[in-house]
Structure formats: C-alpha cells, structure tokens
Structure 1
Amino acid sequence: GTVFAMEPKGAMIDIGAKTAAFMPLQEVSINRVEALSDVLQPGEVREFFIMSEENEDGQLSLSIRRIEYQRAWERVRQLQKEDATIYSEVFATNRGGALVRVEGLRGFIPGSHISTRKPKEDLVADFLPLKFLEVDEERNRLVLSHRRALVERKMNRLEVGEVVLGTVRGIKPYGAFIDIGGVSGLLHISEISHEHIETPHTVLNVNDQMKVMIIDLDAERGRISLSTKALEPEPGDMLTDPQKVFDKAEEMAARYKQMLLEQAEENEPMGVTLD
C-alpha cells in the first residue's frame, strides 16, 4: 500500500481498492511513537497487515505493528535457539522483577534471575546482559535471566580443577553458596570434607573467605559446583585445620588435575591397526 494522507488518529493507505484503507495510530509500530511522521511519510510504499474485513463503508483496517510483532517473535525464537546473549535496557521494575524490551516485545526478568547488589529500583535505564528462559508467543511470555548470562560469561573464564577465592554468602542445610567473582557456586555438604558433617554451620560462617576448587561447570543450567574436600591433604583437615587446606590448595588441585588427565587417558579407546 501507499501512504497518501496523514491524519491525527491514523493514516489513509491506497491499496488499489475502491475505498482507501485506514491504519490507526496505535497500529503504526510495535514501539511507542508520538506521531505517525516518526514512522511513515506521505508517498511511502510498504507492507501492511489486514486486521479486519471491510466495515460498512467498505474500508479495511491495516497494521504495521502486527507484522513487526510476528517478525519479533520469529527473531527471539531464533535467538533462543542459538542460546544467544542479548543486551537490553530495564524500563521498569515491579515486586516480581524487572521489565525490558527485546525486539520491541516486553520481556520479564524474575527477581531470582537478577544478579546484582544494586537495589532493584536502581536498575531502571541499566543495560543488562540476558539469556532466554522462556519464549512462548501463544501465552505472550518472554522470560529472561540476567544471572544465567553472568554465570556463562564467568564460566567461559573458569575450568574444572581451578582453585578460586570465594566468600560465603549463604548457608543451607545441604551446603553453602560461595560468591566467586560475582557469580554463585554451590559447595555441597558432601564436598566440604572427607569426614561426615552434620551441618555446614559447624564448619562455615557467612562472609568467610576461603579457597574452593571447581569440580563441575554446567553452563546450560547456570550452575557451578565447588569442593574443599578435594583440597584436603588429609581427610578431615577442613574440620581441624582449614588454613592448612587453603595453604596447600594449589598443590592439591594440581594432583586432582593430574588424576583427571590419567582417567581420561585410561578411558580413551585403543586404536586398532589392520594389516
């Protein structure tokens, strides 16, 4: 269709029918616009989506927003398939989390997936790296994770068997959450020591600084598993002399890496030569 008249409430479009079609102002874009002239110009030829059948005057209603909406969902589905990291600006926050726009669509970041020490209200106008959690056009649900994007970025610089310095941020009956450079890893109770432990509280305190070794990286689920058990020179040292464990951490980690290497070599299939 060709734009031939601009009006306060919309635009008249020549689509080759007996009666000109009409596009309301709210249908001009998926994004909020102040005036038609921000998007359209008289004489411009472009695609329009037919929203409804002819009214009693024989006039069709058109939309550009519907086309942009369909293409936006196609784009975010593709980005999710590629497991892409995107950057988007927070335009509002609420009790549950933060709101952003992705390709013009409204997206939601749950509070549990926001990884920052800033008060949530102070995030407005911040650009955050994000990963997709849910893309559901039928239910109009676009859910994203800031935490997962940060964990993946951090994971790209980490490796299994590496010793890192961390701070205890939380203690649960099943283990402790350790902050390692802005992302959280789990030190499970079974990975604290070779000796049996009733509760992590008997060994660890919130805000303790400690050395831990990375034993697993799960980028897809955004999880980092940690161990001090693997760093114990003698079973039970985390209970009796944790400083000794931290002093010898790099030495014990080197042994752990060597063990992993030997296991990998043992599991490598043998080559067969045929004469």
Structure 2
Amino acid sequence: MSENPASKIEEKNPEKETSIPEETVSNATIAEFEENSITELKEDDIPKNIPAADDSSSRINKSDLETAGFTLDEFASLLSKYDYNFKPGDIVNGTVFALESKGAMIDIGAKTAAFMPMQEVSINRVEGLSDVLQPSEIREFFIMTEENEDGQLSLSIRRIEYQRAWERVRQLQKEDATIYSEVFATNRGGALVRVEGLRGFIPGSHISTRKAKEELVADFLPLKFLEVDEERNRLVLSHRRALVERKMNRLEVGEVVVGAVRGIKPYGAFIDIGGVSGLLHISEISHEHIETPHSVLNVNDQMKVMIIDLDAERGRISLSTKALEPEPGDMLTDPQKVFDKAEEMAARYKQMLLEQAEEGEDPIAVMTI
C-alpha cells in the first residue's frame, strides 16, 4: 500500500504545520506546491564582485549625478519645490473636503487642514457654504494668517474676490465705461449700489431723477465712475454723468433746446432738458446785470435755452439765454421775444463760432460780445 503524499511533507517539515487540512490535500495540490517552491541557491549562482557595505566604491559620486543629466544644485532646487512655506497673502490651490456650520476645511498640502470661516466665503451675501463650495472642489484660496498653535492656517475666498473686483473697477474707470447697478439703500447723502460686489456711493447731487431718493431702491441706474480709490475704500459714482453722456450723444454746442426750470440757486438755475439737468449760470441769463436768478425765473417755467458747453467728463451741460437775446437786456424786459427769435439767434451764434474757430480764437468768447 502506497504512502500518503501528505505524510512526506510532514516528515520533511516536522516543526511546521501545514495550513491545509490533510483531508483536503490532493495530488494536484501537492504537485502545484512542489512546482512553485523556491529552488535553493548554489554557491556558483552568487556573483563574485559584490562590494561590501562599507566599500567606498558602492557610494554614489557627484560625477554619477552629473552624468545622470542634473547636478547636486539642481537636485536641491527640485527638492525645495516641495518644501511648502505658506505665508499670509499667498494664493494657493486647495481641495474642499468638509463643509461645517462655521466654515470649511480645506486641504492645501499643509501638515494640518486649513480652515475658511463662513464670513470669508464670498464678497457677496450667501445663505450657506454650499452656495459657493462643493465637496472635492478644487479652487484658489487666500492665506490670511500665520499658523496657529495647532498648525492651522486661515483661508479666504472673499479676499481674492475683493482684490479682483478692484482690478475690474479700475479697468472700467480707465475705459470710461457706463455700468448699470441696482440701488439697495439710500441715506441722507445719496444712494448705495454694488459694483462687482463692492459697495459704491452715488452722491445726491449726482442723481438725476424726479423720483424721491427713497423710491430709487431696487431701481437699476446707468452710472459713471467719479472716484475709484482702493486704499481709502472709496467708490463714488454718478447717475447724472451717465445720463448727460447719453444725452450728449444727441446734443451739440449751439443747439436750442426746450427745458423747464427745476431749481433755482443764487448762482443760477437748473434746467431739465429731456431728463438731464443743465446749468443756466446767472452770468448767462442776460447781457444786463441781475442780482439774483429769482428776479427773472420761476420754478417750472418753460423756456428755450442754447447749449454753450458739453463737458462729458464732469457730466455737465452749460446753457445760455444771453446768447439768444436780440438786444441786450431782452430777458429782463421781454423773455417771449427771446424765445421767439431763439433759432435765428442760434444760427448767428453758430456762424460766429465757425468764424472764431477759423481764426483760432476761443469760441466761448463769442458769448461775451
């Protein structure tokens, strides 16, 4: 009777138990085991020229690195790229991996996860972190502070948006662009709007509308830039300038327009000409001297005026009735005569402008003749 092959294995390894139960071992299993067993090395199979561990010939020489295509200095420079040194003011890429009630945990490759507070998630108002961030999202973050005692950095998205918003606003001002923005609040001095997420102010003197300021909330207004100062956090805009520019595209110096007196000041009267306001200075009412505009004009008076200057940069339209007087003093004695002959006098005025321009003189000097 033949011996059980499994017993031979046990005899060869008396101190080692097989992990395969005897009753499950088959001839095929044993054959596979023997076929895959490690062959014992013979002395002739070992190389004769292996250096010892303390042999200097086994160490890498500087020349070996040079022949490899880069120097030790280049190797050190390569390693320095992975020596992360995070500083406040840096902008880094990070991965969102947790959204919490007070902020978000961000992996930026530092030894500890960085934290972004809720108030730093956006320059605009948001209901929650999920309005801006999603788990696993990769984006840029601004480092606000040094590491705290736990080795954690504080991050911000709002700071990045703030910097880029000022850059865009400066570019818009440089291009003298007209923008549209919604009024979200008013105060005694004017109206408040947001431009690229930044808070802007429209002084009351630069709001051209018949509405009360309180009624402007939620209205979208065309606006021009008056002041862009990031250091002082001042963004001042003009509704009047935007309207004047639009109107100016259809107006020209020497043109007669119909307007209504909307306000009278000691220095002159403001005339509404098709939705924009022009100034009829006291010196431009008549050739004759007058003490106050109130002696000649009343609020809501309808009248004809001539445009004598268009200042798009300052958003001003200058008007005159003096240049329309057939005789000096007619605005004081017979205003209707002035309005009846306005177009005729304007044509003469334009001719004088042309002559003055050909002679190289100041056209505005014509008005004083």
Check whether TM > 0.5: yes
For the pair 1:273 / 2:273, whether they are aligned, the reply is no
1:30 matched to 2:123? The reply is yes
- Answer 1 or 2: higher relative contact order, Cα 8 Å, separation at least 6: 1
Judged with a 3 Å threshold, the aligned counterparts in structure 2 of structure 1 residues 2 and 99 are, in CA distance, closer, same or farther, namely same
Cα contact 2:352–2:366 (8 A) shared by 1: no
Structure 1 residue 188 displacement after superposition? 1.9
* Cα shift at 1:257: 0.9
SS of 1:101's equivalent?
strand
Residues 201 and 235 of structure 2 are in contact (CA less than 8 Å); yes or no, is this contact kept in structure 1? yes
User: In structure 2, the residue corresponding to 1:48 is in which secondary structure?
Assistant: strand
| Cα drift, residue 197 of structure 1 | 2.4
- Judge which range, 64-73 or 227-236, deviates more: 227-236
Output one character per residue of 1:215-255: Cα deviation in whole Å (capped at 9) or x when no partner.
11111122211111111122222222221111111111111
CA contact (8 A) 2:96 2:134 kept: yes
TM-aligned CA distance change 1:19 to 1:42, over 3 Å: same
Compared CA separation, residues 80 and 262, structure 1 to 2 (3 A) = same
Q: Percent identity?
A: 93
Shift of 1:270: 22
Q: Which moved more, 1:196-205 or 1:16-25?
A: 196-205
Q: 1:143 to 1:37 in 2, by over 3 A?
A: same
Q: Distance in 2 between matches of 1:17 and 1:116?
A: 55
User: Take 1:273 and 1:169, find their aligned partners in 2: how far apart are those partners?
Assistant: 24
Q: Deviations over 1:45-100 (max 9, x none)?
A: 11110111111111111111110011111111111222211111111122222211
Larger Rg: 2
Q: What RMSD over aligned residues (CA atoms) do the two structures have, in Å?
A: 5.1
Q: Which residue does 1:96 correspond to in 2?
A: 189
Give the Cα–Cα distance (whole angstroms) in 1 for the partners of residues 213 and 186 of structure 2.
7
Aligned equivalents of 1:219, 1:273: Cα separation in 2: 21
Quote the Cα distance in structure 2 between the aligned partners of 1:184 and 1:127: 19
Over residues 143-190 of structure 1, what are the superposed CA-to-partner deviations in whole Å (9 max), with x where a residue is unaligned?
A: 212122212221222110000001112223332221111222121222
Q: 2:282 aligns with which of 171, 176, 189?
A: 189
Answer yes or no: is the 8 Å Cα contact 2:353–2:366 preserved in 1: no
**How many angstroms apart in 2 are the aligned matches of 1:98 and 1:239?**
39
Alpha-carbon contact 2:183-2:219 (below 8 Å) kept? yes
Match of 1:158 in 2: 251
- After superposing the two structures, state which structure 1 stretch, 63-72 or 240-249, moved more: 240-249
Pairwise CA distance, 1:274: 40
3-state SS of 1:271 partner = helix
Question: Which consecutive residues of structure 2, in runs of 5 or more, have no partner in the other structure?
Answer: 1-93
4+ long deviations beyond 6 Å: 268-275
Separation (CA, whole Å) in 1 of partners of 2:368 and 2:147: 77
Going from structure 1 to structure 2, the CA distance change for 1:11 and 1:177 (only over 3 Å counts) comes to: same
- How far, CA to CA, are the matches of 1:177 and 1:126 in structure 2? 24
Range 110-119 or range 83-92, more displaced: 110-119
Partner of 2:64: none
SS in 1 for 2:367: coil
Tell me if the contact between 2:208 and 2:277 (Cα under 8 Å) persists in the aligned partners. Answer: no
SS of equivalent residue, structure 2 residue 359: helix
Higher helix share: 2
Asked if structure 1 preserves the Cα contact closer than 8 Å seen for 2:322 and 2:367, the reply is no
The alpha carbon displacement at 1:272 in A equals 29
**2:142 & 2:352 partners in 1: Cα distance?**
63
Secondary structure at the residue paired with 1:18? coil
Distance change in 2, residues 1:26/1:272 (3 Å): closer
C-alpha separation in 2, matches of 1:271 and 1:63: 59
Q: Which residues of structure 1 form unaligned runs of 5+?
A: none
In structure 1, C-alpha distance between the alignment counterparts of 2:238 and 2:123, rounded to whole Å: 23
Higher strand fraction: Structure 1 or Structure 2?
1
